[in-house]
Amino acid sequence: MNIDSLPGNPPYEAGFRVVDFTLGNRQYNAQKALIIAELGTSHGGDLARAKELAGAAGEAGADCVKFQIVYADEILHPNTGEVALPGGKIRLYDRFRQLEVHPDFFAEMKAYVESRGLLFLCTPFGPRSAGELRALNPELVKIASPELNYTALLREIASWKLPVLLSSGVSKLGDIEEALELLGAVQAAGKPAAAVPAQTGAAICLLHCVTAYPAPESDYNLRLLPGLNAVFGLPVGLSDHSLDPELVPALGISQGAALIEKHFCLSRDDPGLDDPIALPPPLFARMVRAVRRASKAGPEETLAAYSRDRGAALVEQVLGSGIKVLAPSEQANYTRTNRSIHALREIRAGETIGPGDFAVLRTEKNLRPGLPPSWEPLLRGRKARNPIPAGEGIRFDDI
């Protein structure tokens, strides 16, 4: 569909609730969404390539360029399993090791991105990467969906007092509420905290996401966006892993998204972990046009246009019920993509568990999940009731 052919209507009829996401003196909402190009680790540690990617993203219409600071041992255990790549199978841990770069890399990329008038954004995955990111004095920070339940990381980021993008893939409503409480965005009852009143914009934007690569467009349940806004009083956005450059982002705008994030690549044939689901420059630029046009046209015209072109049944599938449930494509990832407590070494029955014996990691492929990260302080000094193999999750019955 040529989204540019949509007629322009006055933006959003009276009564449509708009909650701004505020960065300094800039406000983003469904009438002017913040568009993020997620580069992740697709640069492969090559500074020249990273600059080429960032420049191309800006030219394609991105407002913000996002990176990830990766240290393998902050994310998973070496025994977590293998990933199939064009060159053959490799341990996922070893693939993440290949993505580690010196902190100076991100300092230079931040300067380069900002020199082009773009926002620099980065995701940390643990205490080391968080410390390195904080040293860069970022304007805002992103928490990825698997870290939404990483208690210690959320508390650390909350102490920075920076705007936060919180991605909520592979999560339930209670998980989101607990994370927002740790970040100081909501009180226990789910009401907006006095420090971040929704009426004047908020320091946290809650991103709806489906943690599957790629995620089927029909799994997106975009009617959830106004529901999350109503429950938490926070601005909402969309982190999209679907392959279609237009459908989910444009319909997300129709449901009030203040932010659209999409993976960006130079080519889907490139070797980055996320490149097969990313948008190369022409498709990313097409997405940007679709998002901007949907903002101008308003919800009714956008929904009508996509219903005519793609079919009302498909549009209805993408919009979904608005009830917060795990999407079919991500159900198997719950407790496996999220964080839990894993043994770093083999722990024998009767041994006292010390601080260096466990870590909060993603379970991923072939290990069992463990206790949630909130149990981390309670494990120190406990004795193992059962033998716990290296890498496996530490369960309640094991202590």
Task: Please check whether residues 181 and 255 belong to one and the same domain.
Answer: yes
Domain count across the chain: 2
**Nearest of 69, 75, 53, 39 to residue 263 by alpha carbon:** 39
Nearest 10 degrees: Cα torsion 98, 170, 280, 81: 30
Q: Which of 11-15, 113-117, 255-259, 364-368 has the lowest mean pLDDT?
A: 11-15
CA proximity to 71, closest of 36, 106, 120? 106
For residue 340, give the amino acid letter. S
The separation between CA 16 and the C-alpha centre of its own chain, rounded to angstroms, equals 26
What pLDDT, in 10s, does the model give residues 207-246?
Answer: 999 999 999 999 999 999 999 999 999 999 999 999 999 9
Mean pLDDT over all residues of the chain?
Answer: 91
Element (H, E) at 85: strand 82-85
**What are the start-end ranges of the H helices in the chain?**
47-59, 72-75, 92-97, 103-115, 127-135, 151-158, 173-182, 224-232, 247-254, 281-297, 299-310, 312-319, 376-379
Q: Which residues pair with 166 in a beta bridge?
A: 143, 206
Do 254 and 359 sit in the same domain of this protein?
no
Percent of the chain with pLDDT over 70: 91
Q: What CATH code is carried by the domain that includes residue 364? A: 3.90.1210.10
Q: What is the pLDDT of residues 275-293, one digit of tens each?
A: 999 999 999 999 999 999 9
Both 206 and 238 in a single domain? yes
Residue 126, domain extent: 14-322
Are residues 251 and 347 located together in one domain of the fold?
Answer: no
Which of 291, 322, 353 terminates a domain? The answer is 322
Where does the pLDDT of residue 185 fall: very low under 50, low under 70, confident under 90, or very high at 90 and above?
confident
pLDDT tens-place string over residues 13-61:
333 455 799 998 999 999 999 999 999 999 999 999 999 999 999 999 9
pLDDT band at 12 (very low <50, low <70, confident <90, very high): very low
pLDDT given for residue 70 in this prediction: 97
